[in-house]
Amino acid sequence: MHPTHDRILSFIAAPAEGDFEALALEAFRHQFEAIEPYRRFCQRRGVAPERVASWREVPPVPVQVFKQLELACGPAERVFRSSGTTRGPQQRSVHLLADLRLYRAAALGGLARFLFPDVAAMRLLSLVHPPAERPESSLVQMVAWAFERYAADGSAWAVEQGELRCEQAADVIRASERDGAPLCLLATSAALIRFLDFCGEHGWSFRLPHGSRLMDTGGAKGGARPMSRNGLHHAVWSALAIPGYLFTNEYGMTELSSQAWENVVADRVAGRFRRRALATPPWMRTRVLDPATLDDAPPGRRGLLCHYDLANAGSAFAVLTEDVGTAVDDGFLLLGRASGAEVRGCSLVWEG
């Protein structure tokens, strides 16, 4: 593998001992030299590695490019595909990973910082498809690595042959009620809403042990019904007794190798008190850009989210999304999609 990848892996393992700026410029040079379509893209803009002095000057790849071109610094060790958009599976993004080690390190690093900062293992319950059913899903792979690293006895996947097995999930939750072992539920937002509705229809409510927590992702698109974040927090507390400070939302994309997470679990464990926001790990930065100029949007103003991900060193370090957000002191807030952008995401697999 390229030596840049090894240096980035070392940085992910020990961020305090590395230099994001230097590694970002090194990753840009690597991609400029190895990915011919990206090199042409930069040259048309008059940008070359010797002219770039900051990671902020690296030309971002519009997310739509992942549906049109193959971006990889070498042969793909693994290929991930998005779950599609409302325009159909032909509109799926394709992310070619030349070095799967980078994604694994970033995924496990994010889990350790934002979901499991205080535990070495716990019972896990997944409402996400198992790896054998969706091998091209980057989310499924992340959850699979979570199971490899953190799963204690009694952990289970509650999806089988594409179907959410609500009664099986309830059995795992009851086991934690009985034996007092904290549980971590991992779900797309749409699957979580379906499970909560099923519990409501059957008159079920649970009181999970202290320390139990929940990660959801993907938004409510594709769900049985819309639900606000506040409504979802209230429903989770009523049905599972998981408090809001142990309920974190994960923001990820097929086109990225790192994820942003709501800061609540990490802050609770560290004794910090801040507003709920999406935070990035040290190997990822996010800017909010004015859509007309692609300059930084003024504080408090909406703009397009642009992510700079060192773990994407084998494909596209800088990715310009169609997501709209605002910058806050400790990260960013996700506000929705740009006008006219496609509805997309992992929750679409639950549609219908």
- Mind listing the pLDDT tens digit for each residue in 160-178? 999 999 999 999 999 999 9
| pTM strictly above 0.95 | no
- How many whole angstroms separate alpha carbon 325 and alpha carbon 335? 5
- Mind listing the pLDDT tens digit for each residue in 238-249? 999 999 999 999
Q: Are residues 48 and 92 in the same domain?
A: yes
Q: What is the pLDDT of residue 341?
A: 55
Average confidence (pLDDT) over 199-214? 97
Q: Are residues 141 and 211 in the same domain?
A: yes
Q: What is the pLDDT of residue 340?
A: 62
Q: Which domain holds residue 58?
A: 3-99+279-337
Q: Would you give the distance in Å from CA 336 to the centre of its chain? A: 15
Please, which pLDDT band fits residue 1 given cuts at 50, 70 and 90? confident
- Mind listing the pLDDT tens digit for each residue in 67-83? 999 999 999 999 999 98
Q: What is the pLDDT of residue 227?
A: 86
Q: What is the pLDDT of residue 246?
A: 98
Average confidence (pLDDT) over 49-57? 97
Q: Are residues 95 and 147 in the same domain?
A: no
Residue 24 within a domain:
yes
Long-range CB contact pairs, 268-272, < 8 A, 24+: 269/117, 269/118, 270/117
- Mind listing the pLDDT tens digit for each residue in 292-308? 899 999 888 999 999 99
- Mind listing the pLDDT tens digit for each residue in 216-267? 998 655 556 778 899 999 999 999 999 999 999 999 999 999 999 999 999 9
Share of the chain above pLDDT 70, in %: 92
The CATH number that applies at residue 309 is: 2.30.38.10
- How many whole angstroms separate alpha carbon 21 and alpha carbon 283? 10
> Mean of the per-residue pLDDT values for the chain?
92
Q: Specify the number of domains making up the chain.
A: 2
Q: Which residues contact 158 (CB under 8 A, 6 or more apart)?
A: 125, 126, 127, 164, 165, 166, 168, 169, 172
Q: Are residues 117 and 36 in the same domain?
A: no
Q: Are residues 138 and 186 in the same domain?
A: yes
Q: Is the pLDDT of residue 350 over 80?
A: no
